Structures are given as C-alpha cells and as structure tokens.
Structure 1
Amino acid sequence: MVDEGPDGAVWVKPQHGESFGARAARALRRTLSSSAAREVAEATRTAQVLQHPVTTGRQIAVTSIRGGSGKSTLAALLGTTYTHYRQDPVLFLEADPALGSLPLRLGARAGRWTTSDIADIVKPDMSLLDVTGYLVQLPNNAWLLPASKGEIGVMLDSRAYERAVVALRRYFGLMVIDCETLPAEVARVALAAAHGRVVTTPATPEGINSTYAVLQWMQGLPRHVIAGTVVVLTELVPHSGLNLSEAIQKLRSTGVGVQILPYDRHLAAGGPVRTEFLAAPTREAAARIAADVFQLSQTRY
C-alpha cells in the first residue's frame, strides 16, 4: 500500500524488517540455546561505549564512492542510535545537496534553512535555543540541517561547509554528517576533518573492488584518516552470494575496520526509518557500527 509523507513524498507503508516466521524462529533459538546471556552482555558493553561522555562535539562523516550504497540510510541509523543511547543533543547535517535522501529517511520536512545558509547565520554569542530555531526538530533531542530545500541544482562548496561545521560543532555532542560521494570536494574535506569516518559499499564484487581502490588512495592521506575509518558492507538484497569473509579480509588489509549491515525489508522499502520495524540483526548491527565509529572518534593517532 502506498502512503504519502512529508512534502508529498511517496513510499509504501512500512513492513517489518524480517518475516514473522523468521522472528518466531529467532525467538525459539534464543529460548533453547544459551546465547541469550551472551547477547545481553554484548548489548551492555555496546551501550557503555555509546554512552561515554565527550568534552567536545564529535563529527561522524558518512560517505561512499557511489550512489545507492545505503549511505543516507546508514547516516539515519547511526544518528538515531546515538539519540537513543545519549542525552546530549545530536545534529544530522546533510552535506549532499543533490536531492539527498536523509530528510526522507528521517521522516522530516524540508527546512527553511540549509547547510550553506547556516554558515553565515550562526554567531558565537547564540545559545542552543537560538541555533535550533534554524534547524528541523526531530524526536529525542535531535535536529536536522538539510543541504537543500528539495530543489535541483543546489550547490555546497567546501568553504561554506567548513564554516557551517565550525559554527555548529560547539552546540552538539555528536554531528552525523551525510556527505556527497567520493571523490567530491566536500566529501574529502569532511573526511579529513571528521573524528570518525564511515564508508558504505554495497556487498557486491564491484562495490568491494571499487572501495578497495579508494582505501588504497586513503592510505596516502594522514594516518588518522584511514585508522579512524569503518567500512560498512550493506546487503541490499538477501543472499547476495558474495564471500563475505574474503571481502572483509581484503578491505581490512588496508587498515580500516569492517562491519556488515544485513539485508532488511524495512530499509529496502526506502521510506522513513522506524526502529520498531527493524529486524533484530539490523538493530544490533547499527548499534555495533555506531559504537565502533564512536570509539574511533575518541582515539588519538
């Protein structure tokens, strides 16, 4: 069934990330096995990492080397995970003006102000309340700054991006930045300045090989860039047939961390991300990825 969302956007009504049969089988396995205690312990450790206090705003940049890799979806998942576990304010900053899908994934209406606008609006004497008046409010102490107002052909240059980040970073404990695809200039600037980096790639042979080539290029950048990067393999279809072990080994050889975001029917539908509809493995993977990159963002290299 088709539904209509913010600004007339159309999507199908949400369905659960995995079938009822898969959920029932998972519940039965947990009942009959001894894995439940281990899962609780792992979830507790992840929560402790995610709740670690920060003294300055952490910038988490999410990018990819091609569209359709799940970049904006993962940015939405990461930010939503941080808002669930943390009390400090979180900002979703969109740095992909080419009709990026982050507002859609967050179920948010287009704002009056954009990333380019904010660069010249925010002043040092403003309070958080003043600043959030220019942002799109989201649930759970989170805000969104879109890169465009749904217009085609909007541009964002690196200088405007840098001014926007400098102006906003002191107001938010975490900034999740949905970047353009590499090798766009703003994406390169965002990666270099961020405290933690995520590069998404589809779990396909083409995606792995292309991302491996980009990681080899990143090895020539200052060491903190590659050392503070997590590559996320996004399974866009069920049972892709890719040898995940070999793919992970190849990517890790460049010095990055590697995580997997499993196929999820709810995410594949393309509408707003609603955590209650996510499959259990998806929620667990999102928490692991969020904890992994957050921990890297606090490491000095």
Structure 2
Amino acid sequence: MSAAPLDPWNDAGPAPVRPRAGTGRAGDSDDALWSTRTDLRQDLHRAQDDPSVGFESVAARVQRDYSRRPALTLWSRGWRALGALWGHDRTGDRLASSAKVVQSPVTTGRRIAVVSLRGGAGKTVVSALTAATFAALRPEPVAALDLDPACGSLGLRLGNRPAPGADQIAAGLASLETTTFDSVTALMSPGSNDLYYTGPRVTGRALGEAAATTLLSGLSRYFPVTVIDCPTGPEHPDTAAVLTRAHAAVFVVPATAAGVDEAAGYLRHWQSDPFLSAIPVVAAVVGTSRNGVLDPLAQAAALTRIGVGAVALRHDRHIGGGVGITLPLIRPENRLAAAELSAQALAAANTQGAR
C-alpha cells in the first residue's frame, strides 16, 4: 500500500486572520484594515477632483478628441470642391452680404435673447453659433451669457474654460464702486476673437430683477453685442426679465413635428401679444437629429409664411460632438445660416430697439 501524500500546509503555520473591513488603507500602518467599496469610491472621487493625479474629465477628453473634427469628411469635402469647378456657388456672396450687416455700427449695446419653448431644441447651440459669429466678424468684444439655472453648457461650447456663473458676475458687478472694461472682463472667461462668456450657474434660483438689471446694463456698457442664452420657456422669471431688456430675440425651433407646430402657434401669439410684439423675433429651425424626418430648410420656409424671418441649421457631426464649436469646421450651409441669423437679429435690434 502506498503512503498517503504529505499535506503541504502542515508546516505553513496557522492560517492568517483576515482583518475586518474598515476605513484603513494599505500603506497607512502595519495593521491597516481592508478597504471597503466606500473607500474605493471615495478614492476615485478624490482622484477625479485632484488635477495633480492627471485625471481627465469626460468633457475635456471629448473636447480634445472631437472639437477639431470637421463636419464634413475628407471624401465629402473633395466632392464639393470638385463640383465647385463646374458650378457657381453663391455661398460666398451671401456670406459677405450678411457679414456687412453683422458689422454695422450700433448706438448702444445691443442685447439679443435666445429663447425656446422646450429643452433640447438647440438653444445653447444657436447661442454659441451666434455669439461666435458676432465675435468673428465684428472688431469689438462680444459677450455671451449663460442664464440656464441648471448648469448650462454654453461655456463648454465656447471654449470649456473655468468661469463664474451669471449670479456671481452680477454680485461682482454690484460690489464694484467703479467699473472699467478690464474689471468687467476679469469676471468672465475669454474665448477666441475677443469673445467673453460666463460659466454655468449652480444656484438654481432666479436672478431677480435687481441682479438682471445690474448684469445686463453693466455688460452692455462695454460690449456692443451681448447674446443671452435664456432659461427654457418664456414664462421663466429670468427669461421674462431678459426679454424686458432685449432689443431682439431668436426663437429656437427643433425640426420635429411637435416642435414646429408649437412654434408656429406661439409665434402667432408673439405677434399679437402686447408685450412680446414689441420685441422683433427671428426663428432658427435646428435639425437635432441626423435621421430626422423633417427638413429644417423646408420648415424654416414654412415659418416665414407667418411673417417671421427664419433660417435653418442642419445637423452636422462637428456641432453634434457636444463640445467646443469652431466656425470653419461646421458645414458651409450652417456657417452661412449662422451669419444670416446674426445679421437678421442685429438688423432687427438696430431698427426696433428696446422698450
């Protein structure tokens, strides 16, 4: 009979005792406790909030990967360039005509409010495109305000640099005994082409009449054009306060069946309402989906039949990246639409003026 196999653990000594779970971490001491899942989550959050460990936020990574991606592929750009050899493209002429209007002088700071009936219509995209167009074509500095009370993304679209929210800037302006251009712009974040913008708001409450007056009047003193990304819905207190002080408004419409029908009805109401009818309005129909059923250009043409100027913004992958917008990288049709929208809004603001 063969001998029984030796137990290899006989000489290993007593089995180690597993330390109880606790808040200790390896490396703290010789008798450190095991880290719990809560400890691991806290370590992860601490690493995410600490730039010294090299953590890159999702927005920063997408900004780095996609903010320089053109809307049209190389193949599409090549076909367009080849087609331009045999056809006459009037895009340049129309762009030059709109740029001339955008560059027209203003007597006082013009405030353009960007509003919508529902969230997800593309209001922040239109605000960013309009502000960037004014900044690119005008020789003076331009301001862009993010008044969305739920942490808006206008700053992300215009450069993704840290900036205080509109609430903080209003409080900072109120605390200044005397204001200068440098003291005002020091409260904001600088973008390209002398564009200054605010960061997301975090308070969640309305600005109030006093803060809105301080903010808008303080900025209009130094910026010939101010574009305001208003909260969703004209009935919001901040939107109503901005419209009271606006020289013109841009009404953003999603290219959906419900969005276009609601916008058509509300724009008719806009033209008959005693308060709103004094504010000139231009519509922007935005293609929010690449596979959308409705053509934004056709819906914009339909809105013009009710007496409202309208432009169409088609969906493109550069704008759809959700981060910084660079005008030369968007579709040529959208670049022209942004210029025409800015020209119509400024022309209306110069003609009508604020109440």
TM-score normalised by the shorter chain: which range applies? 0.7 to 0.9
Give the number of equivalent residue pairs: 292
**Match of residue 259 from structure 1:** 311
Shift in Å at residue 219 of structure 1?
2.5
**Match of residue 116 from structure 2:** 64
- Higher mean alpha-carbon deviation, 180-189 vs 73-82, is at 180-189
Alpha-carbon distance in 1 for matches of 2:323, 2:192: 17
- The secondary structure found in structure 1 opposite 2:351 is coil
Which residue of 60, 73, 76 maps to 1:19?
Answer: 73
- The secondary structure found in structure 2 opposite 1:171 is coil
CA contact (8 A) 2:102 2:346 kept: yes
Alpha-carbon distance in 2 for matches of 1:278, 1:6: 25
**1:53 to 1:125, Cα distance in 2 relative to 1, 3 A:** same
Shift in Å at residue 102 of structure 1?
0.4
After TM superposition, list the pairs within 5 Å mapping 1:90-169 onto structure 2. 90-111=142-163, 113-122=164-173, 123=176, 125-148=178-201, 151=202, 153-159=203-209, 160-169=211-220
Shift in Å at residue 107 of structure 1?
2.1
* CA RMSD after TM alignment: 2.4
Shift in Å at residue 294 of structure 1?
1.3
Alignment TM-score, normalising by the size of structure 2: 0.75
**Match of residue 83 from structure 2:** 29
CA contact (8 A) 1:228 1:256 kept: no
Shift in Å at residue 263 of structure 1?
1.2
- The secondary structure found in structure 2 opposite 1:143 is strand
Shift in Å at residue 9 of structure 1?
4.7
- Higher mean alpha-carbon deviation, 284-293 vs 211-220, is at 211-220
**Match of residue 221 from structure 2:** 170
Alpha-carbon distance in 1 for matches of 2:342, 2:75: 28
Q: Which runs of 5+ in 1 are unaligned?
A: none
Alpha-carbon distance in 2 for matches of 1:97, 1:249: 33
**1:226 to 1:154, Cα distance in 2 relative to 1, 3 A:** same
CA contact (8 A) 2:121 2:286 kept: yes
- Higher mean alpha-carbon deviation, 137-146 vs 238-247, is at 238-247
- Higher mean alpha-carbon deviation, 274-283 vs 114-123, is at 114-123
Shift in Å at residue 45 of structure 1?
1.2
**Match of residue 237 from structure 1:** 289
Larger relative contact order (Cα-Cα within 8 Å, sequence gap ≥ 6): 1
Deviation sequence 1:146-196 (CA, Å, 0-9, x none): 342xx3x52233312232112221110110101001131211222232112
CA contact (8 A) 1:89 1:173 kept: yes
**1:33 to 1:294, Cα distance in 2 relative to 1, 3 A:** same
**Match of residue 345 from structure 2:** 293
Alpha-carbon distance in 2 for matches of 1:299, 1:224: 16
Shift in Å at residue 243 of structure 1?
5.6
Matching of residue 204 in structure 1 with residue 248 in structure 2: no
CA contact (8 A) 1:169 1:175 kept: yes
**1:154 to 1:194, Cα distance in 2 relative to 1, 3 A:** same
Q: Which amino acid aligns with 1:141?
A: D
**Match of residue 282 from structure 1:** 334
Deviation sequence 1:93-126 (CA, Å, 0-9, x none): 1111211110111122332x33223334324731
Q: Which amino acid aligns with 2:83?
A: R
Shift in Å at residue 76 of structure 1?
0.7
Shift in Å at residue 43 of structure 1?
2.2
CA contact (8 A) 1:252 1:258 kept: yes
- Higher mean alpha-carbon deviation, 164-173 vs 224-233, is at 224-233
Q: Which runs of 5+ in 2 are unaligned?
A: 1-54
* % identical equivalent positions: 29
CA contact (8 A) 1:60 1:194 kept: yes
Q: Which amino acid aligns with 2:172?
A: I
Alpha-carbon distance in 2 for matches of 1:86, 1:31: 31
Alpha-carbon distance in 1 for matches of 2:338, 2:132: 9
Shift in Å at residue 201 of structure 1?
1.3
Larger radius of gyration: 2
- Higher mean alpha-carbon deviation, 90-99 vs 243-252, is at 243-252
Shift in Å at residue 288 of structure 1?
1.2
Alpha-carbon distance in 1 for matches of 2:325, 2:265: 31
Shift in Å at residue 92 of structure 1?
0.7
Q: Which amino acid aligns with 1:180?
A: P
Q: Which amino acid aligns with 1:121?
A: G
**1:114 to 1:39, Cα distance in 2 relative to 1, 3 A:** closer
**Match of residue 138 from structure 2:** 86
From the two aligned structures, give the one with the greater strand fraction: 1
